Each structure stands twice: as structure tokens, then as C-alpha cells.
Amino acid sequence: MVIPARKNAFIHNDVENAATAEVLAAADSETFSRVYIGSEFCERLLPSPRKIEKLIGAARDSNIRFSLVTPVCSDEGIKKLEAILSRRSVNDEVIVNDWGAFLLCREMGFIPALGRLLTACCRDPRLTGGIPARDDLFRDYLKSSSLNSGEFLEFLAKENISRVEIDNTTQFYNFKPPSSLKVSLHFPYVYSSTTRRCLYAHVFPENKPRTLGVNPCGKECLEGTITFKMPGCGHTMLVRGNTQFYENRVLPENRTLKRFHIDRIVHHDVPLPRKIPGDGNANG
């Protein structure tokens, strides 16, 4: 099924449609039953505890469920997260993308869902051109993920983790989820790589000296957009914040979604960045 590029009035009736706060703000909220609040890739874009409470309140007022999404964290990010979690109920859904954040959640009584940064797989857009047809083992590898490991699945079961998140990669997957595991599919932007060396800080503002270290953040990623052509395939990569994405608007058929226990699709948008008046934080 190919989803049109513009807003979606769709889709699978038995699949929950979640959206990032950005998408939800720009869309007909009836399309979505859940909103993702937080940040997956950068702790510096994690909204303040106060703002998170405000967003959660707004979601509740609209009868929309929410998930708190948490990023890769330094010790500073872990502290920030602790402050946010201390205001939440352990029954709230928290999605972690960092093993330290995972431990913190467990210590505080939460049973988190595993974000897409913790479910490793190949997310290279160059695979769109196809996988060598006659090499079955290679195909198996390119479709494999952390979820192909029996030991990893046992670990998830032992920790009572019942939800994991994956990307809508072009080659898709070949794991067999246990009955206890539900899967969320991020759509249509597949994350390929991420960095702590901010490309935006390297070019914005123009008169600043070049720096490519892990620098103080001026939220330069809200100043513009970066794209690049992926050599060797037709994809235009989008750099949003510190992360590179490719777009795949082809959703698997219903039966494939069922086979992989995908009961939630998480919709993303990559709009032009905008500064929100009076608020230094992005709402992604």
C-alpha cells in the first residue's frame, strides 16, 4: 500500500495511529488516537517537565492517549529524565532509546517500551535498489534485527517488556515475534544514522567559526533544513536535528503487519523547522 505524501486520511482500521506532537498539531486529530511527546534522538530537544505536563494535559483534554518518548542520554539527560518521570505515573507508557534510561525506568517502577534506537537493524537506503536475489543467507542478514536473537527476546520477556519499535525499512524484517510482544512501526521516515556532532551548528549561523565537536547547543537545528543525495541510490536524505532519515511511504500489507504483531503506526512529519515564540524547546 502506497501512502500519499500529504496528510493521511487512512488506513488500517485495526491499527492504532499515533503521531508525533508536530504531526498532531498540523493534522485532523480524529485520525490519531495517541500522541508521542518527547524526543528520540537528542536530550537537548527534550521538552522541560513543565512543557511535557502541559502537552499531556492537552492530549487528555482531547481524549488522546500519550507516550513519553525519551532520547539517548548523557548523565545530564538522565537527570532531566528523572525529573520528568518523577511527575508521571508508572502506568504511563514510556519509550526508551537508551539503556541507561531503561535502567532508570526500571528503578523507578516503569516498564518501558523499547524505542527504535535500541532495536538494531540495517537502515541503509541503498538497499532500496534490491538485495542480491540468489544469496539467501545475505538476504536473511539484511532483513535481520536485534529481534532475531532468541537471547534478546528472552531478556525482553524477563524484563516484562511488551512493546518494541521498528522502522519501515525498505527491505523489512524476518524476525518472529513471541505472542507477548507488540510492535510499533515508525512511518514514513526511517532513521539511518545519528551523531552528537551537530551539522547545523557547523553551518548556522554563517558567521560562527566552524566547530564539529560535542558543543554547547544553541538549538541551531531550528534554523534551517539540511538534505543530501545518497550516493548510489535515488534517495534524498533528510537531516533533522542530529539525525539522518530516508523516506519510505510504502507500507506493508495488513497481513504483514499482523505477522509482525504491528498494532501501531507512528506517523512523523519533517516540516520546515520553526522557532516557537517564547519557547526555546522544539516539540519533537
Instruction: Tell me how far, at minimum, the Cβ of 261 lies from other proteins, in Å.
Output: 18
Q: Is the dihedral of CA 185, 243, 269, 233 positive or negative?
A: negative
DSSP state for residue 211 in the 8-state scheme: -
Name which of 57 and 232 has its Cβ closer to other proteins. 232
Q: Give 139: exposed, middle or buried? Use CB within 10 Å, 0-12, 13-18, 19+.
A: middle
Q: Which amino acid is located at 231 in the chain?
A: P
Burial class (CB in 10 A: 0-12, 13-18, 19+), 227: exposed
d(CA 174, CA 260): 9
Cβ proximity to other proteins, 61 vs 206, nearer residue: 206
Report the nearest approach of other proteins to the CB of residue 173 (Å): 11
Secondary structure (DSSP) of 87-119: TS-TTSEEEESSHHHHHHHHHTT--PEEPGGGS
8 Å CB contact between 211 and 218:
no
Amino acid letter for position 162: S
CB of 264 to other proteins, least distance (A): 21
Nearer to other proteins, 29 or 195 (CB): 195
What lies within 8 Å, CB to CB, of 194 at 6+ separation is: 41, 72, 117, 242, 243, 244
Nearer to other proteins, 7 or 138 (CB): 138
CB neighbour list of residue 231: distance below 8 Å, 6 or more residues apart: none
What minimum distance in Å lies between the beta carbon of 111 and other proteins? 16
Closest distance of CB 93 from other proteins, Å: 20
Return the number of the residue (25 or 203) whose C-beta is nearest other proteins: 203
For residue 189, the minimal CB distance to other proteins (Å) is 13
Strand partners, 163: 182
**At its nearest, how many Å lie between other proteins and the CB of residue 255?**
23
Among residues 59 and 153, whose Cβ is nearest to other proteins? 153
Q: Which is nearer to other proteins, 61 or 75 (by Cβ)?
A: 75
Q: Is the peptide bond before 205 cis (omega within 30 degrees of 0)?
A: yes
